[in-house]
Structure 1
């Protein structure tokens, strides 16, 4: 009986790392918003307004993966109206492709309507593996943390004015190093991650689905590195802050989401 169990584990591992292995995970994100004016002052618009705005930024994402690569993208949805009197403009990311074998990523980026294709090396995240465990759905998960140091923009994640501890939960039950968004490199699929402002939680996993799919690389847009893309983005944001007057008395209100 013991030998049969070992054989089953070996077969499961073989299936996972075979060329035909595929998986799909659905993630739901929620963001706690910090709203500031163009000069960095915090805006207090009330809890009800914050709740409405946060709901407008609730999103769903799909992660498709095999043993070596993954592609992560937002699910399309009907545009819901935001809070009355406010228009929120966000420059966004499209599909994100990660190749764990060759250690690089591709990202579709959009800055005010102009398309970019970011290509850069995957930067190793210095995860600290913890002993704490919990269940997410039917999966056994372990905790891991990663600290983003103050003003550290070197890793291509985001700059901060204070240390940020990212908490992730991964499952060795699915032993691939993939995860949502920028996250990767743990000894199991990442099912939950929280960076203090945005949380991502896996709500559904399908392994080897009947309907086959390919892990397709992004290919559209002006080719740039992550550093070049970040520089262009910051320049455009500064231009917008200088030019756009949306306040009732001609004052500029720029709501930055996530950074």
Structure 2
């Protein structure tokens, strides 16, 4: 079942096109990763979804209904931006309870569990909170909600590694509950770890959408080779890139459609060790931008 669908979303600010014909869909019980560099159009797209910006063109549907025909659709959304502003003179506890009252949530046991999980001192006033603690308040409120769609824009900004792990576990639990998660992050390993599918956005345009396994064909596999002889001849091959000699062996990246040719070329060198490192989401992402720079 499709929970959220974007059809040709476009948003301009003067002469700048922040989002250009953006289209994708998010299914029930799915974690959808949304990646791109700063200024690519991620936050603009998310703000259109929550109604903070009005698209110049295109359509947003929730459960198959355009959001402009359902003014209550936001009740099914919990949104956490990358930088949180809270009421400075209220304590963390007061802010959380306020949001619980506004949204009609009464599960105090769940609230206490999340506060303990994220190690938040709720007795402090929000003006004394660090960025990370402000982020924790927003995350706790989002996970407390019964929203069917959770939208996170750089959610772990300001969090330490332990809190990042706790966030990942809460997201996974939300998915198991059947909720849908739209995750925008510049931490590519985070998206790679959590997302079922991803969309890559560049200069306001979606340039690829799909499961990670189906996107690996556009990148290169890294090999680490150890051999008695000199391997320098391999770096002249057109499908070998980023050749580097290190203490652990010779590292090189090979085009995936030329792996057979590479292994044939390597065989005469009688390697004593050959290790392949699978492509990472970061490799896929950087490959796009390297290609862009080479063309410009």
Please, what TM-score do these two structures have when normalized by structure 2? Answer: 0.24
Q: Which has the higher strand share?
A: 1
Please, what TM-score do these two structures have when normalized by structure 1? Answer: 0.26
Q: Which has the higher helix share?
A: 2
